[in-house]
Structure 1
Amino acid sequence: MSSVGTRQHGASKRRAITAMGVPFHKSEWMESGDDPLRSPTISLIEQAPNSTLGTHFHRQNQFQLFVHGGGSIGRDTLAPLTVHYAGAYTGYGPLVAGDEGIHYFTIRPVCEAGAIPVDQAREQMVRGPKRHAQAGPVACTPPEALAALRQASSEEVIAVADDGLGARVHRLPPHAPLDLAVPAATDCSFAVVLGGSLQHAERTLQRWESLAWWADETPPVLQAGPQGAELILLFTPPKAQAYQEAMIAALAPDHPARLAAG
Structure 2
Amino acid sequence: MSELQSNEAIVPHFHGVTMFQLFIAGSGTIGNRGQQLKPLTVQFKDHHTAYGPITAGPQGLAFVALRMHTGNSEPIYLDKPGYRDHLKPSKRRNLTSEQVSFSIEPVMQARTEAAWESLLEGDDGMSARIVRLGAGMSAKGPDPSIAGGYYVFVGNGSLVHDNEELPKWSMVVVENSESGFTIQAGGQGLEALVLQYPLEAAG
1:129–1:151 Cα change, 3 Å = closer
1:182–1:142 Cα change, 3 Å = farther
Residue type of the alignment partner of 1:168: R
1:129 aligns with one of 91, 100, 104? 91
Which residue number corresponds to residue 115 of structure 1?
A: 75
- TM-score calculated relative to the size of structure 2: 0.90
Which residue number corresponds to residue 106 of structure 2?
A: 144
Q: Is the Cα contact below 8 Å between 1:173 and 1:229 reproduced in 2?
A: yes
Which residue number corresponds to residue 81 of structure 1?
A: 40
Shift of 1:220: 2.5
* Cα distance between partner residues in 2 of 1:183 and 1:222: 13
Which residue number corresponds to residue 59 of structure 1?
A: 16
Higher relative contact order (CA 8 A, sep 6+): 2
Q: How does 1:199-214 map to 2 (within 5 A)?
A: 199-214=160-175
1:140-170: CA deviation from partner (whole Å, max 9, x where unpaired): 11222211222221101113x2211111101
* Cα distance between partner residues in 2 of 1:45 and 1:237: 24
Q: How does 1:1-262 map to 2 (within 5 A)?
A: 44-74=1-31, 75=33, 76-111=35-70, 113-118=73-78, 119=80, 120-159=82-121, 161-182=122-143, 185-239=146-200
> Root-mean-square deviation (CA), in Å?
1.7
Shift of 1:183: 7.3
Residue type of the alignment partner of 2:174: W
1:132–1:184 Cα change, 3 Å = farther
Residue type of the alignment partner of 2:74: G
Q: Is the Cα contact below 8 Å between 1:163 and 1:185 reproduced in 2?
A: no
Higher relative helix content: 1
For structure 1, the 5+ residue unaligned runs are 1-43, 245-262
* Cα distance between partner residues in 1 of 2:92 and 2:155: 29
User: Percent of aligned positions with the same letter in both sequences?
Assistant: 30
Total equivalences in the alignment:
197
**What is the SS of the residue equivalent to 1:178?**
strand
Of stretches 53-62 and 142-151 in structure 1, the one that deviates more from structure 2 is 142-151
* Cα distance between partner residues in 2 of 1:237 and 1:168: 14
1:205-242: CA deviation from partner (whole Å, max 9, x where unpaired): 110100111222112333111111110000111337xx
- TM-score calculated relative to the size of structure 1: 0.71
